[in-house]
Structure 1
Amino acid sequence: MDQTSLFPKTTRTLLDKKAALASDNIEAWRNFSITIFKAGALDEKTKQLIAIAVGHVTQCPYCIRAHTSQAMRKGASKEEIMEAIWVASEMRAGAAYAHATIAMDEMEKQE
């Protein structure tokens, strides 16, 4: 499958059209995003590394691209980014295994 048809290139035109369809919502979301990614108890680089990990778990290609470039701008190394991705991978795999308890519980009921 051609990935460009599944995930279209983000353009200013598409972004502007999306924003115009819900201008109050996009303004609120942009302000929320700006606030969340400001340095606080966590520095900006760490927040971007978290966002990369979450982007991989939620499987959002746009988030992965945006936060990877932001993390690098904030000083993250390629090694730090890959390590964050591996943490996300472990958590995703761990969640799948942990949820096996639900299947086990159901199988026990069928005996």
Structure 2
Amino acid sequence: MTELFDRSDDPKYARVYRRATPDLLEKFDAFDNAVFAAEGREIPLKYRELMALAVSITTQCGYCIDFHGNAAVHAGATEAELAESAWVATAIRAGGGYAHGRLAFRLAGIDPHRHGGEAG
């Protein structure tokens, strides 16, 4: 997926963070580095990267899909593990649609005890 992004200008725009909010960038980098540290966490890095990949797919962030997919492979993830992560993301997203559909019924005034198709 990397070839779909022209990242040549990204460092230029990263300078905006360094210039405008250096304290926040420093704290974010420290936090991100702690979350994805190779050692010292309870969940092995490969599984944290697979979780990050699934979240990236769910949120549909192309940059994150690229980064965490490659990081998962670098951490030892297999093709099958990447595929299952994608299916986990798909199931969560579909489950969200199902659950929010029920919310839509409630907000639309659908009586769950009726046997018809109209609201009321």
| TM-score, structure 1 as length reference | 0.84
Letter in 2 for 1:84: S
Letter in 1 for 2:95: G
Unaligned runs of 5+ in 1: none
1:12-31 equivalences under 5 Å are: 12-31=11-30
Partner residue in 2 for 1:9: 7
Larger Rg: 2
| TM-score, structure 2 as length reference | 0.78
SS in structure 2 of the partner of residue 41 of structure 1: coil
Unaligned runs of 5+ in 2: 112-118
SS in structure 1 of the partner of residue 93 of structure 2: helix
1:20 CA drift (Å): 2.4
Partner residue in 2 for 1:53: 54
Structure with greater helix percent: 1
User: Whose relative contact order is higher, 1 or 2, with alpha carbons under 8 Å and at least 6 apart?
Assistant: 1
1:101 CA drift (Å): 1.0
1:19-98 equivalences under 5 Å are: 19-38=18-37, 39=39, 40-98=41-99
SS in structure 2 of the partner of residue 12 of structure 1: helix
SS in structure 2 of the partner of residue 75 of structure 1: coil
